[in-house]
Amino acid sequence: MVDRKTFQLSRKAIALVLAGGRGSRLHELTDRRAKPAVHFGGKFRIIDFALSNCVNSQLRRVGVVTQYKSHSLLRHLQRGWSFLHGEVNEFVDLLPAQQRIDEESWYRGTADAVYQNIDILETYTPSPEYVVILAGDHVYKMNYGIMLVDHVESGAECTVACIEVPRKEASGFGIVAVDDSGMITDFIEKPADPPAMPGNPEMSLCSMGVYVFNAKYLYAELARDIADETSNHDFGKDIIPRAVANRCAVAHSFSRSCVVAPDEPVREHYWRDAGTIDAYWDSNIDLTGTVPALNLYDSNWPVWTYQQQLPPAKFVHNHLDRRGTAIESTVSGGCIVSGEVNRSLLFSSCRVHSYARVNLSVMLPNTSVGSRARLSRCVVDSDCHIPPNMVVGEDPDDDARRFRYTENGITLITKKMLERLT
């Protein structure tokens, strides 16, 4: 829950969700959509988690900065996030790239994306005193209000949310070093050999891409950065390292603001960058477990989204050799299952036909698996129709020839890939 002090500070802040990323490591899964618009968890989009954190934290003035293939993202936001009340100064503003620098200049980096919208931020009433910068492509539950209070009480100009990550997995993140007071003493963006935490050689302290700035400081730094022709105009590469060098930045431990249900044992502080096919498959399949690491059933911290009005999932036929079943699986509305589904996640309006088998697979909306087809360890993009008798996931060479096959043995299937086979 949000206390009075947190609520008051949240009303003085605005959140900017950076949702313009292409997500190239997801390959064909982002051919038609930006990474934040990628489906996740059976009924959500990835961006829903950052936006839900804002709403549940009472941070209800939100701008979403978009750029790459944003149509499906904008459509989702318009349909699912228009419930805030503008008459009490609550909103989700859509901020597509508008080439304010010149007619050929799209957003050149995350810092430039914010800079090009400063004129809009300055029109909001009351003028924001704090700006919360969020990545729109991470999955987690976090009370930003707690981080905002910590930021104000620290007296710092900038606060960086940090999480402990296994060192072998940390090369894709900004690595943070802190002193005893929490001041950040060093920041290295995506090092090939991430330094370990003091006293813990297996872990590194990583930036989550969640920042709180004093608004006046941020605007001044962005103006200085945009004039620097050598800059990448990026928070991780330019703005944060400069704040660290000037001893203006402090760290906020995710353990303080990670949201856990009241009766839920803390097994881990859940935060995922589902930025590769392997990571995307793994984080979705994890939700099918009896006690998944991410709790989507906490009514105190709901994850909001747009959802179609669909009938309940249905399992049909009751014969010994023909029975629709789903074991340790997540099955969404509008699905009809007459085959076998095991440890899989089915998004809305999927079909699994008679005698078909789906094992350890993620099926995005409006997909179907034909009779006697078999899928194992697959991610099936939306609107795909797996032909009867097709087998995927049992012959790596055959899978790699027809589809995208990852180093961890996950097969991505898209509509275009299937069309090439006909």
Q: How far is CA 81 from CA 1, 31, 97, 142, 152, in A?
A: 21, 24, 20, 19, 29
Residue 345 forms beta bridges with which residues?
330, 362
Q: Which two tokens stand for residue 174?
A: 């900004």
Distance CA 365, CA 310 (A): 12
* 140 marked as part of a ligand binding site: no
Distance CA 418, CA 399 (A): 12
Of residues 392, 379, 418, the one with CA closest to residue 27: 379
Burial class for 290, CB neighbours closer than 10 Å (0-12, 13-18, 19+):
exposed
Of residues 422, 417, 269, 281, the one with CA closest to residue 359: 281
* 155 marked as part of a ligand binding site: no
Can you give the length of the chain in residues?
422
Q: Which residue has the tokens 């839900």?
A: 52
Distance CA 270, CA 384 (A): 31
Q: Which two tokens stand for residue 199?
A: 């006293």
Q: Look up residue 32 and give its DSSP letter.
A: S
* 207 marked as part of a ligand binding site: yes
* 174 marked as part of a ligand binding site: yes
* 103 marked as part of a ligand binding site: no
Summarize the annotated binding site as residue ranges.
Answer: 107, 174, 189-190, 207
Residue ranges of the annotated binding site for alpha-D-glucose 1-phosphate are: 107, 174, 189-190, 207
